[in-house]
Structure 1
Amino acid sequence: MRPPFPPDPPDWRASAACSGMPPQVVFARREREALPALNACRRCPVARRCEETVAPARSFFDGVSGGRLWRNGRRVRLRHSDVARPHALRARSDGART
């Protein structure tokens, strides 16, 4: 027998590279504590969706979203050169400049 309604689509957050990381890493306000989540964003298939959904600037978000660190809804300038935004990495792999 078939269920009366189609199953809910899987939540995009389950596909996030940071899924399963401790909240204190994902919602860190400091770069050092956020580095694991920032590095996970480099390979995250839903980084763009994450930033669109969280809307950090509108929600005064603190933490990591879309490969960026946010504090009170403002991007934090990163000091570590080994952390790159996933959007920039994709653009470089396509041969475009960032």
Structure 2
Amino acid sequence: MTSEIDWRRAAACASLPQRYVFTRNPSEAEHTLRACNQCQIRRECEAVVDPSHTWFDGVSGGRLWRNGREVAV
């Protein structure tokens, strides 16, 4: 398994502004969700972030999360 820093650099969203990655707004999440569709570490992202158990807000594993719950987009 790669280190956390290497994992973040390998993510397709790594070059996107953080406001798109950590948004609660579906329209702002579109950029990141498109990047997720091409990301080779999408599953690892969701496993590391563990959004449903951490009350995460933002995009992880190709889905938008708000307070640890998936948001329909």
Q: Match for residue 84 of structure 1?
A: none
- How many residues align? The count is 71
Q: Match for residue 38 of structure 1?
A: 33
**2:7 pairs with one of 12, 16, 24:** 12
Secondary structure, aligned partner of 2:48: helix
Secondary structure, aligned partner of 1:35: helix
Work out which of the two has the higher radius of gyration on C-alpha atoms and give 1 or 2.
1
Gaps in structure 1 of 5+ consecutive residues: 1-7, 79-98
Shift of 1:60: 0.1
C-alpha RMSD over aligned residues = 1.5
Task: Give the Cα separation in 2 of the matches to 1:62 and 1:54.
Answer: 10
The runs of 4+ residues in structure 1 deviating greater than 3 Å are: none
Greater strand share, structure number: 2
**1:58 pairs with one of 15, 28, 53:** 53
Shift of 1:14: 0.9
Task: Give the Cα separation in 2 of the matches to 1:44 and 1:13.
Answer: 11
Q: 2:24 matched to 1:29?
A: yes
Task: Give the Cα separation in 1 of the matches to 2:13 and 2:45.
Answer: 11
TM-score using structure 2 length: 0.91
Report the residue type matching 1:34 in the other structure.
A
Report the residue type matching 2:38 in the other structure.
R
TM-score using structure 1 length: 0.69
Task: Give the Cα separation in 1 of the matches to 2:27 and 2:72.
Answer: 12
Ranked by relative contact order (alpha carbons within 8 Å, sequence separation 6 or more), the top structure is 2
